[in-house]
């Protein structure tokens, strides 16, 4: 097992990465301080791993909530379902919520934990590649609004993150590829060596070589933990982790949540950001092609499959947490492996890129 520490002073926590971790009782229960535990999972993950996690918690009072699967359920109503279940059994402020599932379960559960009785503990057990490399680490929690992705939420750090890569054995290929989009993101935004590594090993990664999978999960978590430790609340550098996300969120919002998986929308969004960076004169068309090739080898989309109205798309882009004083700030590439946040791009270049994809 590998262990990382996200260094946030009193809020610091470990990230455990390895195989067979869902059989290791101590790992989990050493981070639970009270006696009451709620496991939140979804209809896909429950039959696979819920009893395994429950078995680790025999000395606790455990209740469970099984949510419907999908991004379209990442809404306030679902959070309310969790509050109702907690109140029905009178769970108090000493309780711990465990998020067992992908990014949607993690974000909803974290937000419920951030708000229930003004904040209770929670633990992340991510079971998809995307949640293992990104959303379970760093304490971003929340839900979508019909008018904007992740618009309602809170920063609330988990007590620990338990990443058992064996759970990826049951993950379908589409979800696995969606997770690779966020892995590629780390290479693009700040780690050119990692990007080369991914390019050189993409075939073995697509056949899910376990050692390679552990290596990329570990490297991604390390890169993310490093950035979050410097800028927990995203006043600066953490925004780089949103490479491709302003475009991606607009794709998800305009097509309807759940049509493109989050990672798929981010893949297209990253290509848009990379192409805009080339048009702005930072990187070459050859480098754009290398990124596109990698995304395609990872079985990720590089086009938007349905027609979207230009103005509708631009409006959706303006509902973004990086918008300040109505100015859309984008993450662009200064060079491959080095991103920066910009409000200084040519509007005509942005328009050309968006129109080229719609």
- What is the C-alpha separation between 217 and 239, in angstroms, rounded? 20
Nearer to ligand GLY (CB atom), residue 273 or residue 278 = 273
CA distances 317 to 85, 243, 311, 350, Å, are 35, 13, 10, 12
Angle between helices 210-230 and 192-206 (to 10 degrees): 150
CA count, 13 A, side-chain hemisphere, 140:
24
* Interface with ligand GLY, residue 134, by CB under 6 A: yes
Using rule CB under 6 A, residue 74 touches ligand GLY: no
In the bound complex, what is the minimum distance in angstroms from residue 227's beta carbon to ligand GLY? 8
Size of the site for ligand GLY (CB under 6 A): 6
Contact criterion met (CB below 8 Å) for 227 and 213: no
Beta bridge partners of 331: 341
Sign of the Cα pseudo-torsion (277, 281, 283, 288, in order): positive
140 binds ligand GLY (CB under 6 A): yes
156 binds ligand GLY (CB under 6 A): no
E strands, 8-95, are 13-18, 36-42, 61-67
Taking CB atoms, the residue at the shortest distance from ligand GLY is 241
- With CB under 6 A as the contact rule, the residue among 18, 138, 179, 301 that binds ligand GLY is 138
Per-residue x/- track, 200-239, ligand GLY (CB under 6 A)? --------------------------------------x-
Any contact of residue 185 with ligand GLY (CB under 6 A)?
no
Does 275 participate in binding ligand GLY (rule CB under 6 A)? no
Binding mask 79-118 for ligand GLY (x = CB under 6 A): ----------------------------------------
How do 148-155 and 161-164 pair as beta strands? unpaired
264 binds ligand GLY (CB under 6 A): no
For 337, other C-beta atoms within 10 Å of its C-beta total: 17
Beta carbon of residue 140, minimum distance to ligand GLY (angstroms, whole number) = 5
Site residues, ligand GLY (CB under 6 A): 134, 138, 140, 238, 241-242
């Amino acid at each position: 097992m590998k262990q990382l520490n996200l260094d946030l002073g009193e809020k610091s926590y470990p990230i455990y990465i390895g195989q067979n971790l869902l059989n290791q009782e101590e790992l989990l229960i050493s981070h639970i301080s009270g006696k009451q535990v709620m496991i939140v999972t979804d209809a896909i993950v429950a039959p696979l791993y819920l009893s395994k996690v429950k078995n680790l918690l025999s000395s606790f009072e455990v209740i469970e909530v099984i949510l419907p699967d999908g991004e379209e359920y990442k809404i306030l109503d679902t959070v309310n379902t969790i509050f109702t279940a907690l109140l029905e059994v009178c769970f108090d402020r000493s309780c711990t919520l465990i998020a067992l599932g992908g990014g949607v379960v993690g974000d909803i559960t974290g937000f419920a934990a951030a708000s229930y009785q003004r904040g209770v503990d929670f633990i992340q057990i991510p079971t998809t590649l995307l949640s293992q490399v990104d959303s379970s680490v760093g304490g971003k929690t929340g839900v979508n609004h019909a008018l904007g992705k992740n618009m309602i939420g809170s920063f609330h750090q988990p007590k620990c993150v338990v990443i058992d890569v064996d759970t990826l054995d049951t993950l379908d290929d589409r979800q696995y590829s969606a997770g690779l989009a966020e892995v590629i993101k780390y290479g693009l935004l700040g780690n050119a060596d990692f990007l080369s590594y991914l390019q050189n090993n993409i075939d073995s990664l697509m056949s899910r070589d376990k050692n390679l999978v552990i290596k990329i999960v570990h490297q991604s978590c390390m890169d993310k933990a490093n950035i979050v430790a410097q800028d927990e609340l995203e006043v600066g550098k953490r925004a780089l982790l949103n490479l491709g996300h302003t475009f991606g969120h607009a794709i998800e919002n305009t097509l309807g949540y759940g049509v493109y998986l989050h990672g798929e929308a981010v893949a297209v969004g990253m290509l848009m950001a990379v192409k805009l960076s080339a048009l702005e004169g930072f990187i070459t068309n050859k480098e754009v092609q290398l990124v596109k090739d990698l995304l395609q080898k990872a079985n990720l989309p590089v086009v938007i499959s349905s027609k979207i109205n230009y103005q509708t798309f631009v409006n959706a882009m303006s509902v973004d947490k990086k918008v300040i004083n109505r100015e859309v700030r984008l993450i662009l590439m200064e060079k491959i492996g080095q991103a920066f946040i910009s409000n200084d791009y040519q509007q005509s270049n942005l328009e050309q890129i968006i129109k080229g994809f719609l």
